[in-house]
Chains A and B, each alone.
Chain A
Amino acid sequence: MSRYLTPGKVALLCLVELYAESRFPNQSILPVLSFVLKHIVSPKDSTGFLVTLDQIKAATVNEPSAVVGRNIFDLLLKKLWEINSLDALHTFFTNLETYLIDTEGANKSAVVRVHGEKSPLSRSSVLGCFVRRAALEHTRMAFTDAIMLWKSFVVYREPTLPEWRKRNLGAGPLSFDINLKGLSLEDALFDHVYGRLKDGRECHISTDDVERLLEFQVDAMQRMGTRIPSEIQEQLRTMLSLNVIIPSLNHYVEFLNSWRAGDYAGAFDNLHRYFDYTMQNRDRTFYQYALLNLAILQADFGCYRESVLAMQETINTARENKDMACLNFALSWFYHFHKAHPQDCPEVISSRMERESLQFLKAKAKEAGMHHLQSMAHLSEAKQLLVGGESIPAAFESILRSSYLNVTKNIHNAIGSQILLQSAIWGRLGISYLSWMNCELFLAKYKQHAPIEDVVKALCRGAYIISMRGRFDEALERLEEVDQESLRTLKVYQYWSTYIGLLKLRRAIHRSDLASADILLEQLAASPLVEPDCALETAMAKIDLQMRRGNFSAALAGITKLADELDRDKADVYHRIRLMTLKAQLLAKCGRAPKALSLGLRAAAIAWRSRLLPMLFQSLLVISTILIHLSEFETAYDLMDRIMPQVLECEDALLNAQCFSVLADSLVGLAGKSQEAERREELHRALEFMDRAGAEYARLGDGEGRAGVMGKKARIMDYLGDRAVRDEVVKLYVQLKRGG
């Protein structure tokens, strides 16, 4: 098989020649040339690898040419069929030179285009380069390769014979070679020279094509984090089956593919194979990249110790070779690794990976002009600020810096992380609508160029937010909308399925479907290597479930264990407060109000300082509950009443329901202390709040919550003496209890 030239390229060259002969009218130049260019510059999508005659026909048959009554495809056919022998093909290539501007005699005067006259191509233009490269490749060809090219060209052109015969009645099945004049198909001579023509597809694909495809694939896989789409895999398989010299890049593609598929052994094997084959032509300078790949691979499969060792070696090698790009990348990876798995980092590394390292990274990335890395460093900084519960404006500033870099330097694949972080901040600020909007915006506008992982994350985040509003079914539907192709990557699939499990688990808990919740929980806990945030959510859900069951001691133990872990890892302050409020809630439920109060107050203080509004409301809710227990109805009412508008903004159905029911409780408590007239009014208001709480519970499908509200409502009705309504409410209560 040839290195570069294929029959398809010959056809493209013919088109270029026609263009250079000024045979295209103005309106045809653009469509036809863009078709040609698509096939000679690096590809943007997966269609530009093989030029079939059908594609060319589709692109040219509707374009009129400068010759009256002929379209461009007709002219192309004429050119193609004029190559009527091996010698003609040779001459075709040697004549290519004449289409280029003669460097010596180049006159600068403006070229006046006359149809049919050659207007030469400049040597350094894209077309000029293409023509020159083709001519050069032909000169390099050995004679046997030239024959192969010629034979496959004959096969390639064969299907157009009927169309060619329309204009040239003399053309027959043997007219592809003028040397066959006077021979028949049965002749031994014909059989010997062209006998095995039909399976002579060897040259349809060149090494260059395969390399282009592989490079495109590697680029896509690295950028998007996807696996090989099956359509491309099919193309590759056909290409590689055709007696092709397999470029070593193929092993790299295989490596990425098996990595994404979660085939650790295969990935490992292929990575080593790739570097074994490339060692001879790229020398040791690429050793650090081999190590880098290895380290990331190891980390992905959970071999953290191995991975750290490999990465340390990478850093040393990169330092030795003064490869700043690799070094910076390795350092940045280390930083993230340290954040994700602090317990697996050796002391030496952890001590280095403090804040200064981020500053260092930023400076280095800027120095080396690695904008992507710099942008990511800014994001990391913002994340660090958030995790530490520090200044929100500072975090916004970092995001803004990153966003500026992304926009000015056109860094497509960092936008995902940026928007996700932004969405997280809005979530923490309790503006869940904006948070959701950000996710949707990303999915709608940046999906094409973003890594598949970011896309799935945004999707899951969005679904989660929807589920918080109690619309579980819609959330699950949304998750199902995911592109099946992207789920072929193992990690992404795991993340996605974990989210589906989590949503189902939450729904089951709310609906008091405890048996299925147990099963779901078991399944979730069984899947290994999930992202840390998923693991945390699962643990939280477990505690919720235990609390639902009334197994408070187990829940408490769970909370303590989780809190210890989070403390050890210096985890996100948000989650730590979440645990604190949960604990306070638990204690309050167990009747340990004073202890709960102090815990709640501390949580509220921290949440306020870090502007973690949902958590603040949650802790205030706990505090109010405790206050009600302590008969401080007035204070409890005031507290809840003040925050209620903002709570509603959080769009968390459970929080809303709880808040409303606390408001109702405090009003009932107040009513107990006030005069008759006021009491009635307060009780009515309490009823109103109870209705709203009931509505929120209903939205979640939480029968138990609703039943609780109904029970209270029935009692108030009873007090108010509205029997008919009371009976109805009691009936509903019984129904809810039964249907629970």
Chain B
Amino acid sequence: MDTQSIHTALMVASQKCSERCLYQSAKWLAEAFNSLPKLDPPSKPPSSYPFTTTFHPPVAPSPKEAQLEFTELPTYLLAKAYFDCREFDRCFSTLKDCKSSKSRFLCHYARYMAGEKRKEEEMEMVLGPLDGAPTPNREILPVINSLEAIFNQWKKEGKIGREKEEDSWLYYLHGILLAKHGNEAKAKEAFEKSIRIYPWNWGAWVELGHLIGTLEELCEEAPKLPDHLIKKIWHLQTTVELYQSSDVVHHELTQLEITFPNMPFLKTQRALLYYHARDFEEAEQVFDTLLKGDPHRLDALDHYSNILYVMERRPKLAFLAQLATSTDRFRPETCCVVGNYYSLKSEHEKAVMYFRRALTLDRSFLSAWTLMGHEYVEMKNTHAAIEAYRRAVDVNRKDYRAWYGLGLSYEVLEMHYYALFYFQRAASLRPYDAQMWQAMGSCFDHMNRPQEAIKAYKRALVASSHTTPGERGSFDPTTLYSIGLMYEKTDNPKEAAKYMDMCVNEDVETPATNKAKMWLARWEFGNGNWKRAGELANELCQDGPEIEEAKALVRDLRARMEAYHTSPLRLNNQTLLVA
């Protein structure tokens, strides 16, 4: 496709979304075509412009539909005005008897939105005593039914398989409702149908993306969809959401950026890629340029604040919070940034307050739930933390931090079996994150399943070496020590000693290496290898928590060595050990 036709298609799509009050999609599409290279200005008079549709509301392609739309234009305009004023019920009742596809879509969509509005009004305070099960949207079922009636009608008319572009929107709406209703398989089908008919509807892609929980699902889903430019972007976004950060993904992104050179959305994806790969510096830089380009853009700033939080860049985080606040202080993103800032300043109550505000603004704002969980952990309110994490997971199954947080909280409560389950979920999302595997290992350990624990720890070792390629040999000493202990438990001291040795040989000095040294010293002592035992113990006598133990060992060693040297019998080691 050449740039011009992409341009036109995106513009038409954006206008269509606007007509149907799909604001976010319209915004995204508009951003997309604005980031395309600029078109040459037309040299001919306006009447002969090739794509008049781009200057007027696009007319439906089929003449019958166009006629219908024209007849219903006054009603439609009135209804759209109502919708824009958030008078959904009024919009719905105005459009009740309309026949054109556009009006029908808006009618049903308005009804659904009315239900959403009522649902929100009925909701209790975030994490309040009554904020339990989410209140249902009571309009979903009626809307699904009436949509299905329309589809049945089409079936009768033999229209199925010959749907026009304007009909795709109804499938899209159907998909949304089915997903909300919990029927994900059918929802996916609906989205697929909609996309196949009209692939430029970004909203359908996004909704489909939400339904994909794992990489396998993505691989399964992708071939079913038509090959399209938008699909590439969608594929990229979904992969990023699944925390993939391989070179392949980067390459995909670079390819897309050739088509859309300045699209902030793609840049954000790049930043997220770096973020997931724990390359914070790069991610920070990308976000910096994004902010410089458009300081009013708040999208994904919550992720940026997470990055700054991890890097402990307090002044910058404060500045970001200031920036976001001066743009719009009642956006969930802003509240998250401010909350993160307060969290970094160890003012956890205030942080919770801001996360709560973010959630009041948007209950499905994932980051806020997770971050609120973190805050509650900090405040030692494990039960509240668990609930917050659970809500995060309910909103989006793909957030490994929430799963991991759940696991940690249950571990604090010493409910290891539960914790294990959540760690497994987290690990399945981030198979190359050592942290998950370590946590799992310690869970197995607590549950007296050393064999599984060893496996988990070994995975952790692999993962940690995976994340830092090229530096083979720098294993995490703690994990090594843990593996050693596990082998000891399984009565495999030789293997244990091997790992302890590896641990001691790591360059860094941590409590774990000290402990490993102590263990090794005892082990060598037991094996009668007094010299090495003495060396190890003496090393420990410098400082550290094992100092007393080490000194005792050294004294013991000395006594025995003296006894050994002075003893005329020169008893062998084994008998000494027995004594």
Which A residues lie at the B interface, using CB under 8 A?
84-88, 90-91, 94, 139, 143-144, 147, 150, 177-179, 183, 187-189, 191-193
Contacts and interface: CB of A to CB of B under 8 A. Distances in A.
A278 B295 CA distance: 44
Nearest to A143: B338
Nearest to A179: B319
A457 B341 CA distance: 64
Contacts of A91: 314
Given A143-B325, A147-B326, A193 B319 contact: yes
Contacts of A94: 345
Interface in B361-395: none
Given A189-B295, A192-B296, 14 more contacts: A86-B321, A87-B314, A87-B315, A87-B319, A139-B347, A143-B321, A143-B325, A143-B329, A144-B329, A147-B325, A188-B295, A191-B295, A193-B319, A193-B323
B319 A85 contact: yes
Contacts of A177: 319
Interface string B292-336: 111110000000000000000011111101110111010000000
A189 B316 CA distance: 14
Nearest to A189: B295
Contacts of B530: none
B327 A150 contact: no
Contacts of B314: 87, 91
A147 B322 contact: yes
A192 B327 CA distance: 8
Contact of B315 (A86, A143, A187, A192): A86
B200 interface: no
19 contacts: A85-B318, A86-B319, A87-B341, A90-B345, A91-B314, A143-B342, A143-B354, A147-B322, A147-B326, A150-B322, A177-B319, A179-B316, A179-B318, A183-B292, A187-B292, A189-B295, A192-B327, A193-B295, A193-B322
B326 A192 contact: yes
Nearest to B326: A193
Given A86-B322, A144-B329, A179-B316, A192 B338 contact: no
A411 B292 CA distance: 66
A510 to B, nearest CB: 77
A139 B342 CA distance: 11
Nearest to B337: A143
B295 A192 contact: yes
Contact of B291 (A87, A90, A143, A189): A189
Given A189-B291, A189-B295, A193-B295, A86 B323 contact: no
Interface string B172-191: 00000000000000000000
A191 B319 CA distance: 14
Interface of B: 291-296, 314-319, 321-323, 325-327, 329, 338, 341-342, 345, 347, 354
Given A94-B345, A189-B291, A88 B321 contact: no
Contacts of B321: 86, 143
B515 to A, nearest CB: 34
Contacts of B295: 188-189, 191-193
Contacts of A139: 347
A239 B172 CA distance: 57
A369 B218 CA distance: 86
Contacts, number: 61
B184 to A, nearest CB: 39
Nearest to A195: B326
Nearest to A187: B292
A85 B292 CA distance: 18
A304 B126 CA distance: 60
Nearest to A150: B322
Nearest to B327: A192
A144 B325 contact: yes
A88 B329 contact: no
A86 B347 CA distance: 16
Contacts of A144: 325, 329
Nearest to B349: A139
Nearest to B338: A143
A193 B321 CA distance: 10
A188 B315 contact: no
B246 to A, nearest CB: 32
A84 to B, nearest CB: 8
A178 B326 contact: no
B30 to A, nearest CB: 19
Contacts of A188: 292-295
Nearest to B323: A193
A640 B157 CA distance: 138
A85 B315 contact: yes
The 6 closest A-B pairs by CB, nearest first: A87-B318, A179-B319, A192-B295, A85-B315, A86-B318, A87-B315
A177 B322 CA distance: 12
A95 to B, nearest CB: 12
Nearest to A141: B350
Contact of B317 (A87, A189, A193): A87
Contacts of B327: 192
Contacts of B347: 139
A193 B314 CA distance: 17
Nearest to B354: A143
Contacts of A87: 314-315, 317-319, 341
Given A86-B322, A147-B325, A179 B315 contact: yes
A228 B288 CA distance: 54
Contacts of A189: 291-292, 295, 323
Contacts of A143: 321, 325, 329, 338, 341-342, 354
A245 to B, nearest CB: 19
A315 B367 CA distance: 63
Given A90-B345, A94-B345, A143-B354, A192 B319 contact: no
Nearest to B342: A143
A188 B293 CA distance: 8
Given A90-B345, A144-B329, A187-B292, A192 B323 contact: yes
A183 B292 CA distance: 9
Contacts of B341: 87, 143
Chain B CB count within 10 A is highest, among A84, A87, A94, A177, for: A87
A139 B317 CA distance: 18
B294 to A, nearest CB: 8
Given A94-B345, A193-B326, A88 B315 contact: yes
Contacts of B322: 86, 147, 150, 193
A90 B292 contact: no
A188 to B, nearest CB: 5
A475 B327 CA distance: 69
Contacts of A191: 295
B336 to A, nearest CB: 12
Chain B CB count within 10 A is highest, among A144, A177, A178, for: A144
A33 to B, nearest CB: 31
A147 to B, nearest CB: 5
A178 to B, nearest CB: 6
B327 to A, nearest CB: 7
Contacts of B294: 188
Contacts of A90: 318, 345
Chain A CB count within 10 A is highest, among B291, B295, B327, for: B295
Nearest to A178: B315
A503 to B, nearest CB: 67
A139 B314 CA distance: 17
Contacts of B326: 147, 192-193
Contacts of B329: 143-144
A84 B318 CA distance: 12
Contacts of B319: 85-87, 177, 179, 193
Nearest to A190: B295
A86 B345 CA distance: 12
A189 B318 CA distance: 15
Nearest to A180: B319
A377 B321 CA distance: 64
A193 B319 CA distance: 9
A142 to B, nearest CB: 9
A147 B341 CA distance: 13
